[in-house]
Structure 1
Amino acid sequence: MKNIIWFTLSLVFSMACIAEETSVKLEVIDPYLEMHTGPAVGYPVIYTVEQGEDIEVLTRRPDWYEIRSNTGRIGWVKASQIARTLQPTGEPVDLPSVSYGDYLKDSLSLGFNVGEFSSGELKGAQTFTFTSEQRWLSWFSTELEAGKLYDSEVRGRYVGANFLFEPYSDWVISPVITAGGGEMKITVQPKLIPLSIEDSSYVQYGIGGNFYLGRNFVIRAGYRKYTVSTEQDDERLDRWHIGFNAFF
């Protein structure tokens, strides 16, 4: 009988230790985090965890997590809100159903890229571009860009606005589709044969990829096809680029 009691106590103690080890403690970095009585928006909000407070993740449901606040309150929060938390080490948490896109939603990023035109009248011209991106949804963002192009005989600049679609934003290496347009101005023309592109508008589309370095930094690469309006026929250009962005 004594052996059974000791075995039972040991089993309970072991299960408690496992539960203690598998629980996850996090720090809230958003202004607040709403706790619901159940795993759905229809359940009432019972408590609000403020920025800087610690929470403990208990269980999971599809798109929801049950948590305990540092005051002992227990409730449910959306997975997208859990994405905006930090581990005790200061690193963003990686939990099931929480993606990079969820974490970066509503964030602003600044970055740059370098590239080269690989076809058309500007073939061989190098590019340097500054970008600013607003992530509206986990899979959708808008981007403003301003850059310069140059080679031995050509100088110019361009500005544009683009839409970025990232359907698999939960992947570490995630494909991206881009579409947009802007204005291109050639300020220095070749001496012998001037380009048909001078002060022109353009539209572009392309594909690329994001490689996430943690939750706030990403290396980007892509290939874009341009259609530039000229006085005669439209000019077709291709450009590849690679760069770096940081989210805030």
Structure 2
Amino acid sequence: MTLACAIALAVAWPARAGDEARERLQITDPYIELHTGAGRGYPVFHVAARHEWIEVLMRHTDWYQVRTVDGKVGWVHRRQLETTLTEAGHAKTFRDVVLDDYLQRRLQMGGAWGRFDGEPMLKLWAGYRFSPVLGVEATLAQVQGVFSGTDFWHVNAVVEPWADRRLSPTFGVGVGRFKNVPNASLVDARRTNANLANASLGVRYHLSDRFMLSADYSLYTAFVSDERSTEYRAFTLGIAFFF
């Protein structure tokens, strides 16, 4: 930090307890808008002009609570802070997305539509995350085929090794039950009830602090008997929300 910058800050902000941990930024755009809350739906109540200094108090997703030199406290979107300067005179840098709020959430529910061996498939799932990278998911699915209908459920252990990124891959393995009911018009139609195992590879994209998109490719193995098993492949695309 330059001597002139240090003097300007000392004059603008007398020392206060706890200020050491707070970051100070200088505005370089013509102005930034302070909202009353962390969202565009909240009204703008103050405008801070170029060359003013602001303190960063806290963050909620992509919104930052800041305090101006004259004591105004409001919320600013990350995009308006990307052109600000640090006390050292460098451009302020941000991660592409801040995911701490996502990682703190434990429960999620979602739904998806896709294809199960070429047939239309609908599934619902609920999950619980033990840590940012490890969780468990329970899935209930239905496939309505031309010649039969299939219902199945399974419980998976899910690993998301790069959960702190907005776009992150997932890996899962699990077990469950599989039931296939052929159309009554088919000759020698027999119901199939079998144990089910699966492995999945997916990708998730966080839309906001509560919603995300997901895409999954899964390989299912139904153990029809001790001597025979049947494999199925499925692809789904869906949306989930956090609690």
Q: TM-score, normalised by structure 2?
A: 0.62
User: Distance in 1 between the 2:111 and 2:178 partners?
Assistant: 18
Which of 218, 238, 241 does residue 243 from structure 1 map onto? Answer: 238
Please report how far the alpha carbon of residue 124 of structure 1 lies from its aligned counterpart in structure 2 after TM superposition. 2.0
Please report how far the alpha carbon of residue 99 of structure 1 lies from its aligned counterpart in structure 2 after TM superposition. 5.8
Which runs of no fewer than 5 residues in structure 1 stay unpaired?
Answer: 1-6, 29-53, 58-86, 118-122
* Residues 105, 135 of structure 1: 8 Å contact kept: no
Identity %: 18
User: Residue 110 of structure 1 aligns to which amino acid in structure 2?
Assistant: M
User: Distance in 2 between the 1:101 and 1:228 partners?
Assistant: 39
Please report how far the alpha carbon of residue 156 of structure 1 lies from its aligned counterpart in structure 2 after TM superposition. 2.1
Residue 90 (structure 2) pairs with residue 109 (structure 1): no
User: Residue 114 of structure 1 aligns to which amino acid in structure 2?
Assistant: W
Q: Report how many residues are paired.
A: 182
Structure 1 residues 105 and 141: alpha-carbon distance in aligned structure 2, compared to 1, 3 A threshold: farther
User: Distance in 2 between the 1:90 and 1:216 partners?
Assistant: 18
Equivalent position of 1:145 in the other structure: 139
Structure 1 residues 225 and 193: alpha-carbon distance in aligned structure 2, compared to 1, 3 A threshold: farther
Task: Tell me whether 223-232 or 186-195 shows the greater mean CA deviation.
Answer: 186-195
1:93-242 to structure 2, matched below 5 A, reads 100=99, 103-117=102-116, 123-189=117-183, 191-192=186-187, 194=189, 198-231=192-225, 232-242=227-237
Please report how far the alpha carbon of residue 106 of structure 1 lies from its aligned counterpart in structure 2 after TM superposition. 4.6
After superposition, the C-alpha distances for 1:79-109 in whole angstroms (9 at most, x for unaligned) are: xxxxxxxx93699xx966x963763335211
Structure 1 residues 187 and 20: alpha-carbon distance in aligned structure 2, compared to 1, 3 A threshold: same
User: Distance in 2 between the 1:243 and 1:10 partners?
Assistant: 51
Equivalent position of 1:19 in the other structure: 24
Equivalent position of 1:76 in the other structure: none
Please report how far the alpha carbon of residue 201 of structure 1 lies from its aligned counterpart in structure 2 after TM superposition. 1.0
User: Residue 19 of structure 1 aligns to which amino acid in structure 2?
Assistant: R
* Residues 101, 209 of structure 2: 8 Å contact kept: no
Structure 1 residues 247 and 203: alpha-carbon distance in aligned structure 2, compared to 1, 3 A threshold: same
Residue 75 (structure 2) pairs with residue 88 (structure 1): yes
Question: Tell me, what secondary structure is at the counterpart of 1:110?
Answer: strand
User: Distance in 2 between the 1:223 and 1:129 partners?
Assistant: 13
Structure 1 residues 240 and 9: alpha-carbon distance in aligned structure 2, compared to 1, 3 A threshold: closer
Q: Which runs of 4+ in 1 moved over 6 A?
A: 7-10, 54-57
* Residues 206, 223 of structure 1: 8 Å contact kept: yes
User: Residue 170 of structure 2 aligns to which amino acid in structure 1?
Assistant: V
RMSD of equivalent CA atoms: 3.7
User: Distance in 2 between the 1:182 and 1:101 partners?
Assistant: 33
Equivalent position of 2:48 in the other structure: none
User: Distance in 2 between the 1:214 and 1:169 partners?
Assistant: 14
Please report how far the alpha carbon of residue 110 of structure 1 lies from its aligned counterpart in structure 2 after TM superposition. 0.8
After superposition, the C-alpha distances for 1:16-56 in whole angstroms (9 at most, x for unaligned) are: 6892556323378xxxxxxxxxxxxxxxxxxxxxxxxx987
Equivalent position of 2:46 in the other structure: none
User: Residue 106 of structure 2 aligns to which amino acid in structure 1?
Assistant: S
User: Residue 234 of structure 2 aligns to which amino acid in structure 1?
Assistant: R
Which runs of no fewer than 5 residues in structure 2 stay unpaired?
Answer: 14-22, 27-53, 68-73, 79-92
User: Distance in 2 between the 1:101 and 1:188 partners?
Assistant: 48
Structure 1 residues 90 and 202: alpha-carbon distance in aligned structure 2, compared to 1, 3 A threshold: farther
User: Residue 246 of structure 1 aligns to which amino acid in structure 2?
Assistant: F
